[in-house]
Chains A and B, each alone.
Chain A
Amino acid sequence: MLKQTIHWIDRRFPLTSFVKHELTEYPTPRNLSYWWNFGFLAGFVLVLQLATGIFLAMHYKADAAMAFDSIQHIMRDVNYGWLLRYLHSTGASAFFVVVYIHMARTLYYGSYRKPRELLWWTGQALLLLLMAISFMGYLLPWGQMSYWGAAVITNLFRATPFIGEQVVVWLRGDYGVGDATLTRFFALHYLFPFIISAAVVIHLIALHKVKSSNPSGINLAAKDNIPFHPYFTIKDMFGLGVYLIVFCFFVFFIPNTFIEAANNVPANPMQTPPHIVPEWYFLPFYAILRAVPDLLGGVVAIALSVMIFAAMPFMDRSHIPGGAHYRPYYRIMFYGFMIDILVLGYVGAQPVTDATVIVGRVASFLYFALFLSLPFVSKAEERMMRKRGLPPHLQTLLDAQHRQHQPRKGGKHA
């Protein structure tokens, strides 16, 4: 019966061939480490955010006079409303944790390099969408931090040349953040997940064209690729289990970790909180914004700090495979960058003092300096490594890759 049904479908829709091509015969490098689990986890968090978000929207009221109360209605009166809300608010942070690790892995292993530039750039677009979604979602509880966070960030668009004033009003729908801002942020917060889902499909299409990178940094021979299913479906499921234990620990035992105390006070346009702090995932970028004394300069710097990742395929000039794994200088830069981001994150959370301004400026300078010095460092590093002679196992890998590429030059049967 099942066989017949599938056969019936297959004559009308490429079901079996799709499953074969994308799953049961989809070649995946067998040496992937657990750092390769985070893309799947990001997809899982997206689904969880969609599912909880739809149910939250059934009870939430996007109205400046009712929004705060409706959140408390969800937390207190709706059956398991507290669970939906804590899953969603913790999920937002989890999304960034997972995506940042996913990006760090890409940077460490050089997975953005040829031929995966488009894969990396669609990921960059997903990051921007995620940032927009979380920023708009954060306004919805209509607490003090929601309100003032949105006020500060929309105000940044004042730096737009000539039409700054108009752009800010256009974004807010009013002269200040108010009911019009709340309703449009809610509408867009509900719309963007569909755009993000479509962007994820594009990201996956790009992935399935070029296939996964792997720790060795070369395209493995066919015999070293294994089918995605069952090997990586089960590995992803196990990773998901570990992830859910950590996630649920936050949701059930310390769910207020990611909710600012000030956001339990209803929005009050007449009273600015002592210091306005964005959510933790924006802190490093916020520190870069504050490090530049001029508004326009700050906005350019914060935009560049997010967008500069897209330039990685051009800036990394080295041909040594395996990213930081085999490259001593690049490895130092990678860890330096990680420390620099943590310092920036710390500075972003602190009230402005003389000390934080100096540390923030030095760390912001280092942030860009690391990126901009990469073309020269990576070139020099490769020269140095080739002069000294590559380690034997690395040479073997390179030879293997070379052999793989040779036959393709003859015919067009790729």
Chain B
Amino acid sequence: MRNTLLSALLLALLSGTAGAEETKLDMSSLPDDLAARLRGMDTVVTNCNGCHSLKYIKYRDLVKLGAAPAKVDGWRGDKPLDAPLSAQLSENDARESFGGVVPPDLSLMAAAREGGAHYLYSYLTGYRTDAKGGTVNTVFPETRMPDVLGIAAETDMQKRAEIAEHTKEVTAFLTWAADPHADERRRLGKYVIGYLAVLTMLLYVWKRRIWRRIDSQPPIE
């Protein structure tokens, strides 16, 4: 017992020191309802998609998510419905504008960082004005992306709250984009677990019935 306690203490101490250097992510709750996703979609397609591609998402997927077909038609122009959401900025232009870096694809972004959507939210709202008057990102200091939301310079609390809300919707859309079947998966999961629970109970009853034949024998130990 004392052994267990000691090692548990040791582990707790170690994890404390190891985690201290990492930036703390904002873990406030994020929406994942359809309305938030659709509003986030508007922001992503009309803004982020300018520089960032979403190559695993097709225009048809947006319609399936619930976007008005007319709106999607407006976005895609003469591209087919099954075209992926490529960035409007070409890779070469992007390299020129961002110092040799192509803005990363966003389809899997919500799954590609430790912390997932919380990372995205913390990162997007993580811009601060530094001592020299420039902006710096507290979550990812090396980032080449400018403070697109303008949160660093914004001092009005009302406006800041609006930006935060906006950002949360963006994370809702990107979470869907990273795993479009998540809703279906969870819905199906409830039935699967429910079925297995009933089946397992029946199997237990059956097991008891079969084993009753020898349960009268004295235990071996």
**B-binding residues in A (CB < 8 A):** 29-31, 72, 75-76, 82-83, 86, 214-216, 220, 224, 226, 230-231, 234-235, 237-238, 241-242, 244-245, 248-249, 251-253, 255-256, 259, 261-262, 264-265, 335-336, 339, 342-343, 346, 350-351, 353, 355-356, 359, 393, 397
The answer to the question of B162 belonging to the interface, with a C-beta cut-off of 8 Å to chain A, is no
Contacts of B220 in A (CB 8 A): 29-31, 214, 216, 220, 224
Q: Is the CB of B14 within 8 A of A355?
A: yes
In the complex, which residues 163-221 of chain B have their Cβ closer than 8 Å to any Cβ of chain A? 178-181, 185-186, 188-189, 192-193, 196-197, 199-200, 203-204, 206-207, 210-211, 214, 217, 219-221
Q: Tell which of A30, A234, A261, A393 touches B113, judged by Cβ atoms closer than 8 Å.
A: A261
A330 CA to B157 CA, complexed, in Å = 64
Given A248-B192, A252-B192; A356-B14 close (CB under 8 Å):
yes
A75 CA to B18 CA, complexed, in Å = 34
Considering the complex of A and B, which 4 residue pairs feature the smallest CB-CB distances, nearest first? A252-B189, A241-B200, A264-B112, A238-B203
Q: Which of A76, A248, A355 has the most CB of B within 10 A?
A: A76
In the complex, how many residue pairs between chain A and chain B have their CB atoms under 8 Å apart? 116
Q: Which residue of A lies closest to B116 (CB)?
A: A261
Contacts of A31 in B (CB 8 A): 219-221
- Quick check: which of B4-12, B38-46, B68-76, B131-139 contacts chain A, the rest being far away? B4-12
Given A30-B214, A76-B180, A262-B112; A253-B18 close (CB under 8 Å):
no
Q: Is the CB of A245 within 8 A of B193?
A: yes
The answer to the question of B29 belonging to the interface, with a C-beta cut-off of 8 Å to chain A, is no
A339 CA to B10 CA, complexed, in Å = 12
Q: Which residue of B lies closest to A400 (CB)?
A: B220
**What 0/1 pattern do residues 24 to 68 of B give for CB contact below 8 A with A?**
000000000000000000000000000000001000000000000
A109 CA to B204 CA, complexed, in Å = 26
Q: Is the CB of A353 within 8 A of B210?
A: no
**A-binding residues in B (CB < 8 A):** 3-4, 7, 10-11, 14, 17-18, 56, 107-108, 111-116, 178-181, 185-186, 188-189, 192-193, 196-197, 199-200, 203-204, 206-207, 210-211, 214, 217, 219-221
Q: Is the CB of B200 within 8 A of A242?
A: yes
Contacts of B203 in A (CB 8 A): 234, 237-238, 241
A343 CA to B197 CA, complexed, in Å = 34
A245 CA to B180 CA, complexed, in Å = 24
A311 CA to B63 CA, complexed, in Å = 62
Q: Is the CB of A255 within 8 A of B14?
A: no
Contacts of B211 in A (CB 8 A): 231, 234-235
A220 CA to B219 CA, complexed, in Å = 12
A393 CA to B221 CA, complexed, in Å = 7
Q: Tell which of A29, A238, A335 touches B207, judged by Cβ atoms closer than 8 Å.
A: A238
Q: How far is the CB of A214 from chain B (nearest CB, A)?
A: 8
Q: Is the CB of A234 within 8 A of B221?
A: no
Contacts of A248 in B (CB 8 A): 189, 192-193, 196
A252 CA to B14 CA, complexed, in Å = 33
Contacts of B189 in A (CB 8 A): 248-249, 251-253
Q: Tell which of A237, A265, A356 touches B18, judged by Cβ atoms closer than 8 Å.
A: A356
Having A241-B199, A253-B189, A262-B114, one finds 9 other A-B pairs with CB under 8 Å, namely A72-B108, A82-B185, A83-B188, A238-B207, A244-B200, A252-B189, A264-B111, A353-B17, A356-B18
Contacts of A82 in B (CB 8 A): 179, 181, 185
Contacts of B56 in A (CB 8 A): 72, 76
A83 CA to B179 CA, complexed, in Å = 12
Q: Is the CB of B207 within 8 A of A234?
A: yes
Q: Tell which of B185, B193, B204, B207 touches A83, judged by Cβ atoms closer than 8 Å.
A: B185
A249 CA to B219 CA, complexed, in Å = 35
Q: Is the CB of B200 within 8 A of A261?
A: no
A214 CA to B113 CA, complexed, in Å = 47
Given A226-B214, A235-B207, A359-B10; A245-B108 close (CB under 8 Å):
no
Q: Is the CB of A230 within 8 A of B210?
A: yes
Q: Which residue of B lies closest to A230 (CB)?
A: B210
Q: Tell which of B181, B188, B200 touches A245, judged by Cβ atoms closer than 8 Å.
A: B200
A244 CA to B11 CA, complexed, in Å = 31
Q: How far is the CB of B84 from chain A (nearest CB, A)?
A: 11
A103 CA to B129 CA, complexed, in Å = 57
A220 CA to B220 CA, complexed, in Å = 9
Q: Is the CB of B108 within 8 A of A264?
A: yes
Given A30-B214, A253-B189, A356-B18; A261-B7 close (CB under 8 Å):
no
What are 30 A-to-B residue pairs whose CB atoms are below 8 Å?
A: A30-B214, A30-B217, A31-B219, A72-B56, A75-B181, A76-B180, A76-B181, A83-B188, A214-B220, A216-B220, A230-B210, A231-B210, A234-B211, A235-B207, A235-B211, A237-B203, A238-B207, A241-B196, A241-B203, A241-B204, A252-B185, A252-B188, A253-B186, A261-B116, A264-B111, A264-B112, A353-B17, A356-B18, A393-B221, A397-B221
Q: How far is the CB of B106 from chain A (nearest CB, A)?
A: 12
Q: Is the CB of A252 within 8 A of B193?
A: yes
Contacts of B196 in A (CB 8 A): 241, 244-245, 248
Q: Is the CB of B221 within 8 A of A238?
A: no
A242 CA to B207 CA, complexed, in Å = 13
Q: Which residue of B lies closest to A218 (CB)?
A: B220
Q: Is the CB of A261 within 8 A of B111?
A: yes
Contacts of B107 in A (CB 8 A): 72
